[in-house]
Amino acid sequence: METEAIQPTIEAIVKGLTPLAQQLQVPAEKLFEWAIKYNYSQGITDSILIFSVIIGAYFFVQFFKWGEKKARPDTSSTNFDEHEYLYTLSVIWGVIEVLGFVICFFSLSNIVARFVSPEFMALKDLISLIVK
């Protein structure tokens, strides 16, 4: 490929990055480094969701086990039978956990990509900011 053929593309990218760098108050030369750091922070933030869902699932299982235990040794009723609203609460909590796992499943590839290939994801983020 000849340099004359890609010169307009490079100029268009620089024209798009310059206002972005000014808006972020970062020198244009340091914009890519900034984007990589931003990329890592996004990956960490997205990872917090996964850990929150896993911890929530652990406490959900513990709560459900407690709810299925007998309320008193002399009766056959469970804690959920004694307090019906707790069973409803556990169903709502379970639905939220399932939705959390679905969201985590669909965002997992993006999270992994942010840590495995931060340069590519940073470039992708910069291009999406330029196109806006």
The domain segmentation of the chain, as residue ranges, is 3-131
Q: CA-to-CA distance for 38 and 85, rounded, in angstroms? A: 43
CA 21 to chain centre: 25
Residue 79 in contact with residue 68, Cβ under 8 Å? Answer: yes
Structure tokens at 102: 């679905």
In a 3-state reduction of DSSP, which class is residue 132? coil
Summarize the confidence of residues 43-48 as an average pLDDT.
90
pLDDT digits (tens, 9 = 90+) for 74-130: 777 788 787 788 888 888 999 999 999 999 899 888 889 888 988 888 888 877 777
Given a cut of 60, whether residue 1 has pLDDT beyond it is no
Confidence of residue 11 (pLDDT cuts 50, 70, 90): confident
**8-31 CB burial, b ≥16 within 10 A, e <16:** eeeeeeeebbeebbeeeeeeeeeb
Per-residue model confidence (pLDDT) at position 97: 92
Residue 20 in contact with residue 126, Cβ under 8 Å? Answer: yes
Per-residue model confidence (pLDDT) at position 76: 78
